[in-house]
Structure 1
Amino acid sequence: MFGLANPDRFLRFTRPLTPVAWGVAVVLLAIGVWLSFTAPEDYQQGDTVRIMFVHVPAASLGLMAYGALGVSSFFALVFRHPLADAAARAAALPGAAFTALALITGSLWGKPMWGAWWAWGDARLMSVLILFLFYIGYMALRASIDDETKAARAAAVLGLVGLINLPIVKFSVDWWNTLHQPASLLRMGGPSMSEVFLAPLLTMMAAYAALFLAVWLTSIRTEIVRRRVLTLRARKALEA
């Protein structure tokens, strides 16, 4: 891992890996969509159960992406390595997109199931909303400071603070009474849902994970090139 912290090594290692990740993501998404539409209706939820195949993976990836952002921020802040900062920055936008998708599909699912688009008193809803705001705050903070070094440090601190919210999101359904049901996948005794819904759900979760990896690697590679171009321009300006 520390060997890949070298930008040149990282670029060489991820050059063949990135298109593979994109290919795996496309294939898994195609299979997942097909399984989602061919799955039977739920006896209680009907066709609205299919929203689960978009909502649950999006929520999971929102947490995973922020975990990547937070860990990268730690290495950027402690070891001050530019590649770690690039990784944190690259995780922010896709993570925010996945979290926004989780909030939107959650509202679409909540209306027929709960009778309301949103419940301000629900701990899971509010903690995911706070997660989205951390993403927005991270990107806004970086954009608001002209000095890129200062912006990276300030954003890294915010990224680390936001890690506190991850266990709150995960265990909110266990710690408080919420409209959300308890965990159905990661629980003692194994998954509680039927196999006809489990297969498309797990496939879509794998597809989202591959998609995030593909986007993340592509964004990090682009960020490395962008910084090298800026450095080259600065050197030419000094020479001039």
Structure 2
Amino acid sequence: LEEQRQSIITEAVTKGLNPNVKMKDSGVEWIGEIPEHWEVKRLKNVLDLNPNKNEVNALKGLRVTFLPMENILGPNEVDISITKNIEDVYSGYTYFKNNDLVMAKVTPCFENGNIAVMQNLENSIGFGTTELHVLRAKPKQNITFYFYLAQSAPFKQEGVSSMYGVGGLKRIPSEFIFNYKFAMPSVSEQNEIVEFLNEKCTELESIKKLINGQIDKLKEYRQALIYEAVTGKIDVRDMELDLAR
């Protein structure tokens, strides 16, 4: 199901939703063919990276959301329950606000899809771990489209290959995000793709939860069966004879 989700996202954000649309060569190796009416852009053309926290410099005595890395639970899954005074987090932490896209830049969090569009922040403002990149959509762009783009196979593969550092300290450089080439549909088509992917991903997540619930119940049953067998609550002598035969 995870592989299916990845495949659906990649197909939608790189090829669109119309299987009969006329295609053209993008000129970018990792993109391949794209719909003829899409444009090849760099992310710096459509997103601002790591916006300056000076825009909230004048705010005092305000409670804001605080986001450590462990509170980004998965794609668009965040725990925003922690709040702090803005004076306590202004220095030394990464700033973002509602509708910003936050992305883990350190391995393995990047590969695990620790990325989310921020919503419902305390006073619309948040600060978090320094291991985040913050992406803010420019006018006439749908930030959720870029949330899905950042989960596509080409973006992840190119991101991993651009990481610097060693071992568990490898990070995605800002230059990779600035200069990443992608195929850009119009904002109306971005909206259609987002609506489609929201629906598909919700369906897959529901199936995953159902299956995970069944797995948990089977594990509980297995554990109970083992306990009853080793404590003598189940007579296993006949079973042993069957096995011997």
TM-score, normalised by the number of residues in structure 1: 0.33
Point out the structure with the larger helix share. Answer: 1
Structure with greater Cα Rg: 2
Point out the structure with the larger strand share. Answer: 2
